[in-house]
Amino acid sequence: MAAPSPAPRPAAAAGPALALRPRLPSPSQEVRDERFERHGVRLLLKRDDLIHPDLPGNKWRKLVPNLRAAAGRTVLTFGGAYSNHLRATAAAGRLLGFPTVGIVRGDELADRPLNPSLARCAADGMTLRFVDRATYRAKGDPEVLAGLLSAFGDCCVVPEGGSNSLAAQGCTELGRELRGSADVAAVACGTGGTLAGLAAGLGPGRRALGIPVLRGGFLGDVVRGLQEEAFGGPAGSWSLDERFHFGGYARTPPALHAFADEFEQRHGMPVERIYVAKLLYALTELAAEGAFPSGTTVAAVVTGAP
């Protein structure tokens, strides 16, 4: 079920969606699992991880509209030391032939060997700039951003996680692809852009469910803000369940690994731990709680691979 190989270094002007050769619509896979079936719930896996080998899942959907807007200019974006968003942006730069800059949280990393994630970014041509955590937290401040941009000239700035109004608009197609096949579409959330677009695209009579992987209770305001920017106001029906972050971003305790290992053995599908495992665990718990009426079809959006 691998996606087609991308064409070698096509010009960005040719159009990123065409040049990256995505596999769309992504396939939906029904899984038979008694933890859902005993409650009359049908589980689908929306395999967005198969859209593209280098830009899987919501990374493709969120990045392509931003790359189209960048029109070949340098793309500058932000992320932590293990950011999948940085890796996807760097890969897109390599495949489409435009420069990329990654502003990385943690100036202490500058003098250390690059971890495998950042090494992949560098190998794909991304310029890495390490900043202290205070500067990183203030990255949205115009003065701080101007200081970062001064070193790199004319850049298209894409926010952390790729979530902005363009990304939300790009994710509406995910919702449209699930119309007619799911009553509830669930996705793990980091920065909120995928949920904002998913809900907008689902159409009436269906709802989107977000499972935040970070603590803090801030994501509802973020999603509402993204929908305001992207669609002019609320769009679609959505909700969040904040209980399944397992302590915060990248926190993957033994209980979560045990759940993911067991799911892999049952269904023969690798389970990414930071996002997808938390989503699937949450849905299993919600089914047991009776959160989904009998007869409900739930689609779990698989946003990335291990």
Q: What is the pLDDT of residues 200-230, one digit of tens each?
A: 999 999 999 999 999 988 999 999 999 999 9
Contact in structure between 157 and 146 (CB atoms under 8 Å): no
Q: Residue 12: its pLDDT value, please?
A: 40
Nearest CA to 181 out of 164, 201, 162 is that of 201
Strands 127-131 and 207-212: unpaired
Residue 112 gets which letter from DSSP? Answer: S
pLDDT tops 80 at residue 19: no
- Residue 34 buriedness (CB in 10 A; 0-12 / 13-18 / 19+): exposed
Phi/psi at 300 (nearest 5 deg)?
A: -95, 120
Whole-structure pTM value: 0.90
Per the prediction, the chain carries an average pLDDT of 92
Q: What digits encode the pLDDT tens for the residues 80-138?
A: 998 989 999 999 999 999 999 999 999 999 999 999 999 999 999 999 999 999 999 99
Structure-block tokens of residue 53: 């080998």
CA dihedral sign, ordered 120, 124, 129, 135 = negative
Q: Which residue has the higher pLDDT, 196 or 217?
A: 196
Structure-block tokens of residue 234: 């609320």
pLDDT tops 60 at residue 7: no
Q: What is the mean pLDDT of residues 241-262?
A: 95
pLDDT tops 60 at residue 5: no
